[in-house]
A and B are shown apart, each in its own frame.
Chain A
Amino acid sequence: AQKITQTQPGMFVQEKEAVTLDCTYDTSDPSYGLFWYKQPSSGEMIFLIYQGSYDQQNATEGRYSLNFQKARKSANLVISASQLGDSAMYFCAMSATNFGNEKLTFGTGTRLTIIP
């Protein structure tokens, strides 16, 4: 069985600072994918970034990067130069295979609040 742990229920960060959201995972599958989703107060799920377990380089998407440390089973999300619009819930998730992601296991989320 797969498990995602997000140990930070809430975080407060000053605007323009970088922020790291923690995510650790547990799986016995040799191949898997890791995802981060953003859920603003309006409720929709917004895909941010994806990392395959066999990818050699850490994934980046604009201001988002995924700090993937396979030996430590961690997949932290780094947001550079935070903005007020980054205030939201953030969920880490994983899939059972490297590409196919029809079944996602989610963590409990971190509520990020950006302070002006």
Chain B
Amino acid sequence: NAGVTQTPKFQVLKTGQSMTLQCAQDMNHEYMSWYRQDPGMGLRLIHYSVGAGITDQGEVPNGYNVSRSTTEDFPLRLLSAAPSQTSVYFCASTWEQGGEQYFGPGTRLTVT
């Protein structure tokens, strides 16, 4: 049982490039989410999904796309990277009615 996995761990992009951050979980969780963490701030919700085929926006969705074709995977796409997207990105998942949200190890992204 690997829990929540994220790849890559580190990534450097140039402004305007696109990329996909991968997130997978093997716990059969319905809910999956993406958060970003900027220095001196807590985590902020980007997008979330309540099940395969269903996604919705969080607090800071601009510049990001998501899709959920399977229960296990929830990739986050940066369409055209900007320096303001330099951050640490966390993927998380949970049961439909759970007391704990399981976080992945994070992806540190730098956009130059």
Known pairs A103-B48, A106-B42, A109-B42; A44 contacts B99 (CB<8 A) = no
Q: Tell me which residues across on chain A come within 8 A of B59, comparing CB atoms.
A: 105
Q: Is the C-beta of A47 less than 8 angstroms from some C-beta in chain B?
A: yes
| Contact between chains at A4 and B99 (CB < 8 Å) | no
| Contact between chains at B90 and A45 (CB < 8 Å) | yes
| Contact between chains at A45 and B97 (CB < 8 Å) | no
| Contact between chains at B94 and A101 (CB < 8 Å) | yes
Q: Which size bracket describes the interface of B in this complex?
A: 20 to 34
Q: Tell me which residues across on chain B come within 8 A of A101, comparing CB atoms.
A: 31, 94, 98-101
| Contact between chains at B99 and A33 (CB < 8 Å) | yes
Give bound CA distance, A100 to B31, whole Å.
Answer: 9
| Contact between chains at B99 and A108 (CB < 8 Å) | no
Give bound CA distance, A104 to B43, whole Å.
Answer: 9
Known pairs A43-B88, A44-B105, A45-B90; A99 contacts B99 (CB<8 A) = yes
| Contact between chains at B101 and A44 (CB < 8 Å) | no
- 8 A Cβ contacts from A28-71 to B: 33, 35, 37, 43-45, 47, 50, 52
Known: A101-B31, A108-B42. 20 other contacts (CB 8 A): A4-B42, A33-B99, A43-B88, A44-B103, A44-B106, A45-B92, A45-B106, A50-B99, A91-B42, A99-B97, A100-B98, A101-B101, A102-B31, A102-B50, A102-B94, A103-B48, A104-B101, A107-B42, A108-B41, A109-B42
Chain A residues near B (Cβ < 8 Å): 4, 33, 35, 37, 43-45, 47, 50, 52, 91, 93, 99-109
Can you report 14 residue pairs joining A to B where beta carbons are below 8 Å apart? A4-B42, A35-B100, A47-B100, A101-B31, A101-B94, A102-B31, A104-B33, A104-B35, A104-B92, A104-B101, A105-B59, A106-B44, A107-B42, A108-B42
